[in-house]
Amino acid sequence: MTVKLYDYPLSGNCFKVRQMLLWLGVDHASVPVDFHPGREHKSARFLAQINPLGQLPVIDDEGFVLRDAQAILVYLASRYDDPRQRWYPADPKLRGQVAMWLAMADEITRTASAARLHDALGYTHLDIEACRRGARAAFRVLDDHLAEQHAATGLRWLVAAPEPTIADLACFPYVALAGEGGISLDEFPALRRWVWDFRHLPGFVGMSGIFPAGPA
């Protein structure tokens, strides 16, 4: 089977889906959407036929159409991961933690991604200082959590599991791309370490702006 992905190369939310599909070994076909400068995702056709919210990514898995990066990660990991379910663990507490961090990923999109849209794609109507303030507040929560959990248990991913989950993938790109929105990660050492670890995962492909790590 081949999953169709409505895609834009500079979108961190689309990256999440591309990377998940690769890690799960699921073939996909990208349908490029002229997000910028064409704003095709806000066109009447796109709103009527693909996503009434006018957002990317959207997948079409043999007729099953799903929007929202986090929802798509839940679906793909539930459907295509091996029985260990490492990407979306079945344990109730872990699953609760995953859902909590998926919500944080939305907060990161609202703040850090918005700052990048302001600086790089000309979304000058956004309040750039409010975006950056909100991003730093979210990053402070992530950084404290990663540092405290690592000190207490030695675990280094967002949920209390030995391997990364969709929670990490969902939060990753707009943390790694924060500099493009004028947000430095200097004051978030545990978060920087987590970005480093994530970039070194086997099979990590990255996107424009996030280079894959070289061979260790």
Partner 1 sequence: MPFVTDDPNMLDDWLVVGPASGLPRTTRLLGETLHLHTDADGTPHALLGNDALTVQSRYGFLWVCPGGRPARPLFAFPEYEEPGRRIVDCGGLGVAVSGLRVIENFLDMAHFPFVHPDYLGKVPHTEVAKYNVEVDAATDEIWATDCRFWQPRASAAHDTGSEVFYKYRVMQPFSAMLYKSSHRPDRLDAIGLFLQPVDDEHVIAHTLLAYFDDVSTDAELIAFQHTIFGQDKPILENHAFKRMPLEGRAETPTRGDTTSVTYRRWLRERGMRFGTARAAA
Binding footprint of partner 1 on the chain (CB under 8 A): 7-10, 32-34, 36-38, 40, 119-122, 124, 179-180, 182, 207-209, 211
Q: Give the tokens for residue 172.
A: 């990753």
12/164 with CB nearer partner 1: 12
* Choice between 9 and 162, CB closer to partner 1: 9
Of the pair 39, 93, the CB lying nearest partner 1 is at 39
Scanning the structure block, which residue is given the tokens 């200097």?
A: 186
Q: How far is the CB of 186 from partner 1 (least distance, A)?
A: 13
Least separation, in Å, of the C-beta of 208 and partner 1? 3
Residue 41 CB, shortest distance to partner 1, in Å, is 11
**CB of residue 135 vs partner 1: minimum separation in angstroms?**
16
Distance of alpha carbon 94 from alpha carbon 88, whole angstroms: 8
What's the rounded Cα separation, in Å, for the pair 174 and 113?
6
Residue (40 or 68) nearer to partner 1, CB:
40
Q: Measured from the CB of residue 123, what is the shortest distance to partner 1 in angstroms?
A: 10
- In this complex, which beta carbon is closest to partner 1, that of residue 146 or of residue 178? 178
**Sheet arrangement for strand 2-7:** 27-32, 2-7, 58-61, 64-67
